[in-house]
Amino acid sequence: MNAEHPAGNAALTHPAELGTLSDWLVYLEQLHPKTIDLGLERVAEVRQRLKLAPTFPVITVAGTNGKGSTCAMLEAILLAAGYRVGLYTSPHLLRYNERVRIGGVEATDEALCQAFAAVEQARGDIALTYFEFGTLAAVWLFARSGLDAAILEVGLGGRLDAVNVFDAECAVITSVDLDHMDYLGDSREQIGFEKAGIFRAGRPAVCGESDLPESVAAHAAEVGANLRLIGRDFGYDSVESHQWRFWSDDGQRMTLPYPALRGVCQLGNAAACLAVLEQVRARLPVTHDDIRRGLLAAVVKGRFQILPGRPQRIFDVAHNPHAARALAANLRAMPPAGKIVAVFAMLRDKDIAGVVRALKDQVDLWLVAGIDQARGASAEDMLCVLARENLAERTEAFASVADAYRHACDKAAEDDKILVFGSFHTVAEAMTSAGAGG
């Protein structure tokens, strides 16, 4: 399994020894004493040394939740329109290559190693975090790939995230809620300000959050960004025959199929995508048919992903209360049948209790496990949280996520649902056990 960082073998200390992608990923973990070190000075210096100044339009996507789906739909629509698109996302589920796509295809090991070597040569004695190094490597590859556009997903926050050293033609905030509070602040106003740091003067800034913190609008006004708000400047309505309608104050009115991505929140994400495309149409025009085909083609692993067969197996990386509430709404929207058996593991620095409260009315049996990672909560930690929520009688503990998943598959009836959620690590380990890593 993997998620934010891959597992490695013996530590490598000299770049001359690096021969494979796995070698490089182990090496990148050694370069900085912190996993997260917010700030742009170091990244900006290395970017300048690399002479990275994209001439293609860049769309930057920030948000507490919904970033992955929004990126995927933007990519799919632009690909359907015939554009050559670069996509950079994080973290990955099963392999690092998932983070960097060019023309809809994951970057090869060889291409990534070449990009890492270029960043290594340019950085000199500047220490970069794993994410910072990877961001520069991705854009280095994009700059050499003849792109028409690039979509960059913010890793954490926005204002001080490595992605923000590149100016966005259009910036997107998908949602604002409480997460990563040790780094971003303990209120939606503080977190909104951090995310709004990706806005640029005179450029469009699209917000898919209906309950927008005042700090976002205030920052947009301060820097002179063209703020476009869902519900005010654009929006969506459901119509008959499993279709929906996008509208905007620019006169757009179009009826479209529901996105292939599952979930009740996806129409909001899709509407934000169309608002972005409306703002960049001078450089990246798309047709109604491009949009339709893109919405039907977009896929994101681990976001309310349902594997074929019975019982139903649902995988969702939901790891904060906001995402857990969306997951609960998605479960309520499904036809009722049988029980819901949850395979559940989280990182200990997340709001585990808040996630449990969001789903306690939906889950019948909780199968908990620890995550074998530095930030992972133990099975005992999970048991304590569930006990405080008066769920001890509906809880069983296992040595690993894989063990919990196998138990769920053995015990679940045909009409039951197996829900795997709580972290990228949780979903990755269970998907590997399920043989669903293609």
- For the chain, what are the domain ranges? 15-297, 305-434
Class of domain 15-297: alpha beta
Q: How big is the CA angle at 62 (ends 28 and 119), to the nearest 5 degrees?
A: 25
Please give the Cα distance from 374 to 356 (Å, whole number).
22
Predicted confidence at residue 6, as pLDDT, reads 42
What's the 3-state SS for 39-83? CCHHHHHHHHHHCCCCCCCEEEEECCCCHHHHHHHHHHHHHHCCC
What DSSP element (H or E) covers 404? helix 401-411
Per-residue pLDDT of the chain (438 residues; tens, 9 = 90+): 344 444 433 444 566 677 899 999 999 988 876 766 777 999 999 999 999 999 999 999 999 888 999 999 999 999 999 999 999 999 999 999 999 999 999 999 999 999 999 999 999 999 999 999 999 999 999 999 999 999 999 988 888 899 999 999 999 999 888 765 565 667 888 889 889 999 999 999 999 988 899 999 999 999 999 999 999 999 999 887 689 999 999 887 889 999 998 877 899 999 999 999 999 999 999 999 999 999 999 988 888 999 888 999 999 999 899 899 999 999 998 888 899 999 999 999 889 999 999 999 999 999 999 998 888 999 999 999 999 999 999 999 999 999 999 999 999 999 999 999 999 999 999 999 887 654
What's the 3-state SS for 301-336? CCCCEEECCCCEEEEECCCCHHHHHHHHHHHHHCCC
Q: How big is the CA angle at 300 (ends 299 and 301), to the nearest 5 degrees?
A: 120
Please give the Cα distance from 68 to 61 (Å, whole number).
9
CATH architecture of 305-434: Alpha-Beta Complex (3.90)
Amino acid code (one letter) for 420 = V
Predicted confidence at residue 14, as pLDDT, reads 64
- Residues 246 and 234: beta-carbon distance below 8 Å: yes
For the chain, what percentages of helix, strand and coil (3-state, to nearest 5) are there? 40, 20, 40
Plot region of 157 (φ>0 → left; ψ -120 to 50 → alpha; else → beta): left
Predicted confidence at residue 35, as pLDDT, reads 66
Predicted confidence at residue 185, as pLDDT, reads 67
Please give the Cα distance from 28 to 414 (Å, whole number).
45
Q: What is the DSSP letter of 259?
A: P
pTM, to two decimals: 0.89
C-alpha neighbours within 13 Å on the C-beta side of residue 383: 11
Please give the Cα distance from 366 to 342 (Å, whole number).
5
Predicted confidence at residue 378, as pLDDT, reads 95
Helix axes 67-80, 266-279, angle to 10 degrees: 50
Predicted confidence at residue 156, as pLDDT, reads 83
In the numeric block, which tokens belong to residue 186? 């303990």
The residue ranges of DSSP E strands in 81-231, in sequence order, are 85-88, 100-102, 105-106, 149-153, 170-173, 204-207, 226-229
